[in-house]
Every structure is written in C-alpha cells, then in structure tokens.
Structure 1
C-alpha cells in the first residue's frame, strides 16, 4: 500500500513540475527532450504554429554558419485566469563548448501562434526568424521578423496581417492580407529594400492572379460591392487600370442600388486614386 501511495505521489509531482507536451507535438528523442525541458519555463507547454503546416514546436537552423545548428523552440504559457490571452514565446539555443545555452528569448501576448519559421527576407544568405502571434479575430496577427546579429536575434520589422503568404520564387517577399469587412482584404506584397519592408510592384503583379481568383470565386457566389471595392484596390496596385475602372463601376452601381452614399463616396475616392496612379504610370513611362 505504501509503495502504491509513493508511486501516486511521485507521479503527481512529476506531472506538476514538467512542462506539458500537446498531441500536436511529435515524440522527442531522449536527448532533445532533456535539452528542451531544461530551458523552457516550467509552467509552459510546447506549441506548434498554425503555419507553415506541419511545423514542429522545435526547429533547427544554423544562424551563425559554424556548422552547428541552433534550436528554435516555441512554447505557450497559459494565463492563470481564463479566457485571458496566453504568452507565446520562443527560445533559441546554441551549443557552446559541448553545452547548450539560451542565447535569445522573446514572448508576446496573444490567443494563438500563427507562424514560426525561417526565411531569407533580407536576401543576405542568412535566414531571418519569423514569429507571428494571433492577437484576436478582429485585430488579426502580428508578425515580428528577427535578424541574426552578434550571436543573438534583433527585431528588424513588424507586420500586422490577417492572412500571410511567404513568396520565395526568385525574389523573397511577403503577401500580406489585411482585413477590410466581411471576408474581404486589402493585399500588399512587401520586399526588403535594404532598410525596411516596402511595397514591391513587380512581386505584386506576379502575385495578382491569386488575388483575382480569390475575389472572382467570391463574386460568383455573391455579387456585392465590397468584393468589387477590394478587387479594384488590388487592380490599381497591379497597374491593371482598365480592369480597376470596370470593377469600380460595378461596385458603385451595387452600392447605389442599396442606397449607400458613404460607400459610393468611397468608390469615388478609389476612382481618384486610379486616375492619379494611371497618370503617374504614364509620366513614368
């Protein structure tokens, strides 16, 4: 009886002290498990990001190009009072003289871990670390981009988004979808210019067919003004001026039928934006 009680007590203590591993996590080998347990907070659990799909809560990348990969670990610390937001964190470990050391950590409050991965955003041959935390349904997500600098990671950019796609065809860029109303989004495609992320016309033009298909699929099911409004915005950015003019006309007509003067005014402002963009494109050529 005493042995049974002792086993129950030891099991209870072990469960209480150990970080929790969720079903989304793969089985860790003994050595890696020991390393992770040593460094993540005792009240945390490992968490996999929503994207990239099938990403584990731990990743490997050789930031300093010394032949030894660093370990990137993502975790969640749940708030004591629910349903308050959790703390989502990431730790980077580096092996120094045969021992693992924590060289960097950050935490952000949110309701989910949307993105965790590496990509060469700056184009210098060394990948940056991308950490996207979900703030809320309306607020969307916040992406932080960290660059390797002096054996640590330094924040170089922040990007709010609701949907995001990493573009890696020839040029690396970010397609950022920011919510407007209903299920519509304003889309920008960003690229590093040596100092910061800026809008890139070339990447946008190559990405535009994805945006057009998205809205044509929506319009085929429900022909309403806000799809035409956000589609026209995308067409202006892609320098598809004739298409944008037609989209503005269709959206304006639908808004007038619904007696929505404020929306009609928005379309008029979008039409002015189209004229200025078209004039600028002509003078540039």
Structure 2
C-alpha cells in the first residue's frame, strides 16, 4: 500500500512540474526549449510570379541553357553546384551556380561555366554575371567562396582541370564593390591540398592555400609525376609597390612540415641513397627554420650524387647532376639563414661557374646573392642582385601574372627595405 502511495506522489509531482513550466512559457512568451532539428531548414525563396516557394536549385535550374546541367566540384569534399552568397552585403543572398554540358545554341560546343543570380527591385531573379569556358576542360576540380584577401568580402575561387600533363588553373574573382566580379589572380597548379584559416604571427586569421604548383619539369623527370619540390603555401598580400597577389606564407611552413620531416627521415633510414628524398628533406628543413639540419641533408645529396657521377659520368646521369646543382643553390640559402653570408656568396658563385643554369634557377641565385650582400651591409651590390632577380623572373614569367609576382615578391620586398640605405649612401 505504501508503494502505491509513493508512486501516486511521483506522478503528481511530475504533473505539477509540467504545469509550472507551461505557465512560465505562457507568461514570458519565451521559447526556452530548443527547437526540434526538423524546424531548421535551408532558406527558401518566393517565386514572385506564382507565389510558390522554391529552393535555390529550382531557381538556378531555370537559367540553365538547353544541353547544360549542374556541375559538382571534385574538391573540396561535398561542395555543391549551387551556393548562396551575399556578395553585396545587403543581407540577401545571391545564387552562384556551376554548370557544364553542351551549348546547343552554339553548335553544341562543350562548355563549363559559372553564373550569379541576383534579385531585381521586383524580386525577379536575373543573371547578374556569367563566365563561360570553352577550352578543353576535363573537370571542375575546385570551387570555393571565401575571403582570401582579408577585405571582408568573399572571393570566388574556381579551379578548372585542363589535363594531367597540362595542369589545372585556379581563377580568383573579387566580389568586392564591383559592378561585375573581377579576375584578380590566375595561377596554374597540379593539385590543391587544401585552403585553411590559420592564425598569423600577429594573432590575425589568414586563409592559406596549400598547393602543388604546375611545372612541366615534373613530367620530364626520370620519376614521372614528381611534384614534392613544387609544393607551396600561399596567402594573399597587398603592398603599395606591388598591388595584391599570392605570395609565400613562410610563417606556416614549420607546422605543415612536422610530420613530413619525420616521414622522410623514417623512409631514408630504410633507403639512404635516395638523393631526391634527401633534397626534399633539406627543403622542408630550410622552410621550417632549421638551416643547420638542412645543410646536413644537402651534404647527403652532394655526397650521393657525386658518387653516381664519378661512376657513370655527367652525361649519363643528367637527373642526378640536376639535383646536385639544386642542392648547392639550397645550400647557399641555408648559409644566409645562419648568417654565413661570405659562405653563401662563395657557394652561389661556384654554382654560376660550374653548372648550366636556367632562368628560374638564375632568379633564385641572384636572390641569394642579394640577401648575402644585404647581410654584409653592402647595399649597392645587394640592390644590383635583387634587381637582377626581378628582371630574370620577368623573362620567365610575364610581368603582372601571378607567377611573376610570386617569384619576384621577395626581391622587390628587399629592394623596398634597403631603399633608405641606398639613398643615404649617395
């Protein structure tokens, strides 16, 4: 009998609590309970002509020309073909749509494209901007919308895969206060590893692009598909003397290479005569701020390649000879990081006098010489070599292109730095 009474008491207490909660909600008008997941739905749009509610894809589909259909990017994972983006800051989202197919209005030519839909004053959707590619494109490799430049406006990033041996092209469009999106950078790559927000040295958040840049040499190598030496971490920077563009994000290499360095060391324990892996290890160590370790790895490259050359001769081991040259250029850069400027100059001059140098390598050698003479406070000589580095980069990459900016940025930055010293010396 006592158990029944206790059970009845518990029921009455539960009812009292439920009544109390209901009275509180009714009195305050506040929804203190979380809404069910089913109540959270994506934005929907009213069709002005019919009054029907449409989802974004249904709206975008009406603007696809006959023969075309939505195109879903391969990367990043789960990227969609239709995106909602507020490009003008008015609180209303525009619809960005990616498509491919055959343009039946243009002799059935195969096309890839992107358009942005915007509502007019009557809330009717119109194509605000469209970019169409009719080149021989294999696939839509990458599509992303994020603030790359740090101007608090999103940029549109579109990566088109042109072919395995031709590479892909990353086009970056600015959506800031423009009547139409404007192409602000275009750079060729073989693979985008990822785009991530990282914290900078001043505690600021910066998006960084981790990617393998495209270079024909990676397919000319004895080991086809070699690309590790073309890995770069890039970020957007703006300077009055150069404008804006993608440059090396040197501060972020150390954290990226932690696991890479350990993996390379483990691999080299099993096969210590792999001169290419020793070279990549040296590059990773130098970028990670470990120049002494880089010098040791460079020493291994030089030792192994020289042993091969002594056995087979320079002509039969072209690949080996090439990486001996690259290792010496890296060695000169490591000496600079250690403050050994005289040693760096000696190494650079040795390379210039004993190897066939292409223009890409020459631009790097001149940059090393500029750094070395600046470290010795011989600013006139430093300025001469920094200028030579820029001029050589211009012969390789067309001025104004993303690759020209990337490969001349450090020299131009140093020229700005030593300007006061050059002025005071006259």
Larger displacement relative to structure 2 (181-190 or 193-202): 181-190
Shift of the 146–244 alpha-carbon distance from structure 1 to 2, 3 Å rule, reads same
Which structure carries more relative contact order (alpha carbon 8 Å, separation 6+)? 1
CA contact 2:68–2:103 (8 Å) conserved in 1? no
**Pairwise mapping of residues 179-190 of structure 1 onto structure 2 (< 5 A)?**
180=218, 181-185=224-228, 186-190=230-234
Measure how far apart 1:281 and its partner are. 5.9
Structure 1 partner of 2:351: none
Measure how far apart 1:31 and its partner are. 4.4
Structure 1 partner of 2:154: 127
**Pairwise mapping of residues 6-45 of structure 1 onto structure 2 (< 5 A)?**
31-45=55-69
Measure how far apart 1:176 and its partner are. 1.9
CA contact 1:115–1:133 (8 Å) conserved in 2? yes
The CA distance in 1 between the partners of 2:263 and 2:125, in whole Å, is 46
The CA distance in 2 between the partners of 1:32 and 1:138, in whole Å, is 37
Structure 2 partner of 1:15: none
Shift of the 189–249 alpha-carbon distance from structure 1 to 2, 3 Å rule, reads same
The one of 203, 208, 211 aligned to 1:176: 211
CA contact 2:190–2:212 (8 Å) conserved in 1? yes
- Which structure has more strand as a fraction of its residues? 1
CA contact 2:113–2:130 (8 Å) conserved in 1? yes
Structure 2 partner of 1:227: 277
Structure 2 partner of 1:137: 164
Measure how far apart 1:137 and its partner are. 0.8
The CA distance in 1 between the partners of 2:161 and 2:271, in whole Å, is 29
Q: SS of 2:198's equivalent?
A: coil
Measure how far apart 1:211 and its partner are. 4.3
Shift of the 214–261 alpha-carbon distance from structure 1 to 2, 3 Å rule, reads same
Structure 1 partner of 2:131: 106
Whether 1:209 and 2:258 are equivalent positions in the alignment is yes
CA contact 1:245–1:271 (8 Å) conserved in 2? no
CA contact 1:40–1:91 (8 Å) conserved in 2? no
Per-residue deviation, residues 168-193 of structure 1 (Å, max 9, x unmatched): 12221211213535343221111111
Structure 2 partner of 1:94: 118
Larger displacement relative to structure 2 (248-257 or 115-124): 248-257
The CA distance in 2 between the partners of 1:214 and 1:74, in whole Å, is 39
CA contact 2:294–2:334 (8 Å) conserved in 1? no
Measure how far apart 1:37 and its partner are. 2.4
Compute the TM-score of the two structures, normalised by the length of structure 2.
Answer: 0.53
The CA distance in 2 between the partners of 1:115 and 1:167, in whole Å, is 14
Whether 1:198 and 2:247 are equivalent positions in the alignment is yes
Structure 2 partner of 1:161: 189
The CA distance in 1 between the partners of 2:91 and 2:333, in whole Å, is 52
Measure how far apart 1:107 and its partner are. 2.3
CA contact 2:56–2:95 (8 Å) conserved in 1? no
Structure of larger gyration radius: 2
Shift of the 91–281 alpha-carbon distance from structure 1 to 2, 3 Å rule, reads farther
**CA RMSD after TM alignment:** 2.9
The one of 68, 72, 91 aligned to 1:67: 91
Larger displacement relative to structure 2 (220-229 or 162-171): 220-229
Structure 2 partner of 1:13: none
Report how many aligned residue pairs link the two structures.
252
Per-residue deviation, residues 191-225 of structure 1 (Å, max 9, x unmatched): 11121111121123333335436655765786633
Q: SS of 1:172's equivalent?
A: strand
Whether 1:272 and 2:329 are equivalent positions in the alignment is yes
- Which structure has more helix as a fraction of its residues? 2
Compute the TM-score of the two structures, normalised by the length of structure 1.
Answer: 0.76
Shift of the 253–131 alpha-carbon distance from structure 1 to 2, 3 Å rule, reads same
The one of 289, 301, 305 aligned to 1:239: 289
Measure how far apart 1:135 and its partner are. 1.2
Structure 2 partner of 1:117: 144
The CA distance in 1 between the partners of 2:271 and 2:115, in whole Å, is 45
Shift of the 210–119 alpha-carbon distance from structure 1 to 2, 3 Å rule, reads farther
Shift of the 156–198 alpha-carbon distance from structure 1 to 2, 3 Å rule, reads same
Per-residue deviation, residues 108-158 of structure 1 (Å, max 9, x unmatched): 331011111112110111111100011111222110111114242111111
